[in-house]
Amino acid sequence: MERFAVLVPVLPVVSAVLILLCLRRHRRWAARVSVGSLMLALAGAAALLVHYLITGRAAVVDAHGVFGSLWLDPLSLVLWVFVSGISLIVHIYSVRYMIEEPGYSRFFALLDLMTAVILFMVSAANLLTLVVAWFLVGVILYFLLGHDHERPAAGRYAFWTQITYRFGDLPLWLAALILVHCYHTLSLPVIFARIQSLPTRAFWGMPVTEVTGFLLALAAFARSAQFPLHVWLPYTMDGPTPVSALMHAGIVNAGGFLFNRFAPVFEHAGWSLHWAFAVGLVTAVTGSGLMLMQNDVKRSLGYSTMGQMGFMVMECGLGAFPLAVFHLIAHGFFKASLFLGSGDVIGDARAHDDVPPDPIYTSVVERQPAKPSRLPWLVAASLTVLVPVLVLSLSHFFVAEHLFYEQGVVVLLFFGWVTGAQALFAAHKMSKQNPWRLMIGILASFVVVVIGYTLISHYFSQFLYPNEHESLMLYQAASIHRVSFDALVLVLAAIFVGGWTLTFFADSLELGRNLGGRWRALYLGFYALLSRELYVADVYERVSETLLQWSRRLNVWLRWC
């Protein structure tokens, strides 16, 4: 069975070659071949996953060389099904969406190549294959984003993406070369086995796992749009919508994949995980904050993805690696459906310029309560704060009690509590004629979602990491000193409670209108900072202009020779 596995990533390559060589003028056939090959790839990936579930045996398909070996472990197989599934949806959507675009056949060939490269990347069994596939994703994405070559904006933002990806490739290259230098092989399974047998090996005076963990995390940050390497993501909307969907649903998740693939390295790289947690947290807050300020649907979705990616990296930083994979899959399907539906939303808004009389819209956009009837304040506050704590704690306690004492799980539960409380608070503000009915409905949904999520994530974790010792090692690597941890939780709690209090008073006392003097200037300055997206893009532009000026001067001095 494993011998045929190579067909899964090769099928889209064959389709791309066939389209480029023979079907450039036969648009319908190009689309049919492309969709057909993806269907076969998805079927093959699903069959291999079922085969693994039956036999429980991971395999390495050796290419008998330094390049092209595949590793059929649970991570690869799950991601094969996910990637080929998302790609198939995008392919089918593109058949009609792109029909009037020039370069229709080329578009499908590039989509096929992109899919093939991602499939190779997630299943690479040796470092060179992984680095090459990682590199090629950036190259092919550049041409997909710049598909409409008559729009200079498409070229400009494809260029930003390309530059950020190239920057992120460098730490991956260095990490790969360090691993090869220290463990004398390109094979990933062998490298991981040697790390387990000698995890304390030093390099440049530091543990080799910490050095490579740091570099791998940096590569993941660039690929998953972590602050301040995020600028390319919200602006890639000038590419075709199917490419946006594929990128936000699949390609941008590569950071989470990289963390999971190199989990044996991160088991011994606690500082890298702490760093990932901090960067992920900053990215989640920044992305979500900037999302709220956008007036463009697609850019708002871009910042939403940035926030989600921040949360995914944060999960990795907490040691919850399988949860990050579960998150990336769930987010992938969710975001693909939003992107592929965004055209309809925009079309509807153009066709009907009157705002629909929707109570949620009235509440969120016009900031007016839909109905004056609400639950008593104390009851609502108690439900908002207590219910998420009880539901989250009990569900996790019954499913995996031993994990309940890990710091990473506690922090995730804390964030779950904050999110749940926010959802209930929002529901309280949108109260209707029968507020109790609404609250009970939302509570019931919350309970179902939390229990479902807990159960699925638990069994998914067992599937991805059958050796539970490995999961525990990751949680322990992500742990910090008890006192520091307690202080961190207190600080986070203070920030969130302070934020809620500020929001409450700002709303009820209309602080925004009554601010005066220095506070108003500070408020406006902060608003300007956010509306310019923290000036990150401006800084990059200034730095690159300065470098280009120096390059020009050198060329003039040396007479262009």
Partner 1 sequence: MSMGWILAAALFLPLFPLSLAFNRLVASLPPGLAQALAVLALPQCGLGLLRLAPPVSALPVAVRHWGMAWAVLSAFLYAFRTLSAREIGVWTRLLLSSGLALAWLGWWNGTPLPVLEVLVFGWTWPAAIMLWLVGALVRRLGGAYAGLQGGIVRVMPRMAASLTLAVLALAATPVFPAFFATWRTFSPLLINWVPFLLPLLFFWGWASARLFQDLLFGRYRGETVPDLSRGSALLMNLLLLASLILNFYPNGVG
154: contact with partner 1 by CB under 8 A: yes
515 binds partner 1 (CB under 8 A): no
The answer to the question of residue 242 lying near partner 1 (CB under 8 A) is no
What character string, x for contact with partner 1 (CB under 8 A) and - otherwise, covers 415-444? ------------------------------
What distance in Å separates the CA atoms of residue 278 and residue 478, rounded to the nearest whole number?
12
| Sequence-separated (6 or more) residues with CB below 8 Å from residue 463 | 74, 78
3-state secondary structure of 239: coil
Which residue's CB is nearer to partner 1, number 47 or number 136? 136
* Residue (405 or 560) nearer to partner 1, CB: 560
- As given in the structure block, the two tokens for residue 361 are 């819209």
Q: Which is nearer to partner 1, 86 or 175 (CB)?
A: 175
Q: Using alpha carbons only, give the angle 18, 21, 27 rounded to the nearest 5 degrees.
A: 75
| 155 vs 343 by CB, closer to partner 1 | 155
Residue 360 contacts partner 1 per CB under 8 A: no
Shortest spacing between CB 193 and partner 1, in angstroms: 21
Phi, psi (rounded to 5 degrees) for 61? -95, 105
Query: Contact letters (x/-) for partner 1, 133-152, by CB under 8 A?
Result: --xx--x--x---x--xxxx
Q: Pick from 28, 57, 156, 520: which binds partner 1 (CB under 8 A)? A: 156
Cβ contacts of 264 within 8 Å, gap of 6 or more: 192, 195, 196, 470
Give the H/E segment covering residue 70: strand 70-72
Rounded least distance, CB 370 to partner 1, Å: 47
Decide if 327 contacts 311 (C-beta within 8 A). Answer: yes
Burial of 157 (0-12, 13-18, 19+ CB in 10 A): buried
Go through 506-523 and write b for each residue having 16 or more CB atoms within 10 A of its CB, e for each that does not: eeeeeeeeeeeeeeeeee
Of 167, 519, 523, 527, the residue at the interface with partner 1 (CB under 8 A) is 167
The secondary structure element, H or E, covering residue 61 is strand 59-61
CA distance 325 to 346: 31
Minimum distance from residue 426 beta carbon to partner 1 (Å) = 43
Mind giving me the DSSP string for 41-55?
HHHHHHHHHHHHHHH
Minimum Å gap between C-beta 35 and partner 1 is: 24
Q: Which is nearer to partner 1, 145 or 252 (CB)?
A: 145
Residue closer to partner 1, measured from CB, 132 or 399: 132
Task: Examine residue 552 and tell whether it contacts partner 1 (CB under 8 A).
Answer: yes
Which residue of 10, 49, 180, 399 would you call a contact of partner 1, by CB under 8 A?
180
Sign of CA dihedral 13, 17, 23, 24: positive
Enumerate residues 6+ apart whose C-beta is below 8 A from 129: 67, 68, 69, 120
Which of 13, 128, 285, 443 is close enough to bind partner 1 by CB under 8 A? 128
Does 548 sit near partner 1 (CB under 8 A)?
yes
Applying CB under 8 A, among 162, 212, 286, 304 the residue interacting with partner 1 is: 162
Q: From the CB of residue 29, how many other CB atoms can be counted at a distance below 10 Å? A: 14
Q: Min. distance of Cβ 137 from partner 1 in angstroms?
A: 11
CA nearest neighbour of 265 among 191, 204, 326: 191
- Asked if 282 touches partner 1 (CB under 8 A), the answer is no
Does 551 help bind partner 1 (rule: CB under 8 A)?
yes
Which 8-state DSSP code applies to residue 433?
S
Q: How far is CA 84 from CA 38, 43, 76, 136, 199, in A?
A: 7, 9, 12, 17, 35
The one among 170, 278, 345, 521 contacting partner 1 by CB under 8 A: 170
- From the list 79-87, 433-441, 501-509, 545-553, the region that binds partner 1 by CB under 8 A is 545-553
Regarding 554 and contact with partner 1 (CB under 8 A), the answer is yes
Residue from 181, 184, 520, 532 binding partner 1 (CB under 8 A): 181
**3-class SS at 30?**
helix
Q: Under 8 Å CB-to-CB from 252, ≥6 apart: which residues? A: 223, 224, 225, 233, 305, 309
166 binds partner 1 (CB under 8 A): yes
Question: How many residues of this chain bind partner 1 (CB under 8 A)?
Answer: 40
Distance CA 36, CA 55 (A): 28
Applying CB under 8 A, among 10, 40, 47, 178 the residue interacting with partner 1 is 178
Which range touches partner 1 (CB under 8 A), out of 338-346, 429-437, 517-525, 543-551?
543-551
- Site stretch for partner 1 (CB under 8 A), options 9-17, 163-171, 392-400, 428-436: 163-171
Where does this chain bind partner 1 (CB under 8 A)? Answer: 128, 131-132, 135-136, 139, 142, 146, 149-152, 154-156, 158-159, 162-163, 166-167, 169-170, 173-174, 177-178, 180-181, 547-548, 550-552, 554-555, 558-561
